[in-house]
Amino acid sequence: MRGEIQGEKIIFDQAENLLVAVTDVGLLAQNLALAAESKGYGICYIGGVRNNMEAISELVGLPEGVFPVYGLTVGVPNEGNEVKPRLPVEAILHENEYDEAKYETLLPAYDAAIQEYYERRSTNQKSETWTQQMANFLKRASPRLKRRIG
């Protein structure tokens, strides 16, 4: 990674490099998760890592230009937990062309499923629907990681 080997300074401002890196991390994590689960291990992605990237980067000693995307725990579960419903594949996959009309039925159905899950889970109960959470999340400006990504 270090350009100094070639006498160059690396510039961290290319969207292509960011997209390739995040895609590679996702593929690696998914393959690791599938392999672990096929052997009977439990896994848990920790997306909350992105909520405090700077502190976590410092804690684990990441160099400039490197940032955590998420954590991944792997282990032998000692109990079963509630499984959070995910968006149905139809909400993510589009064939031949993008079909926004399908969200009129898919999103209310998913909101109902996620709200039921939040109400019945044993910890961290919520009353927001998924679309409420996403609207609140997407209306905020993201903090910039000046030191980490340029």
pLDDT per residue as tens digits for the range 1-42? 567 788 888 887 888 989 999 999 999 999 999 999 999 999
Distance CA 113, CA 117 (A): 6
pLDDT at 127: 85
Q: Closest by alpha carbon to 88, among 100, 106, 115, 102?
A: 106
* Cα distances (angstroms) measured from residue 142 to each of 52, 90, 109, 146: 12, 28, 29, 12
Residues in the chain, overall count: 150
Prediction pTM value: 0.68
Q: What value does the mean pLDDT of the chain take?
A: 87
Angle CA 110–81–117, to nearest 5: 25
Residue 150 pLDDT > 90:
no
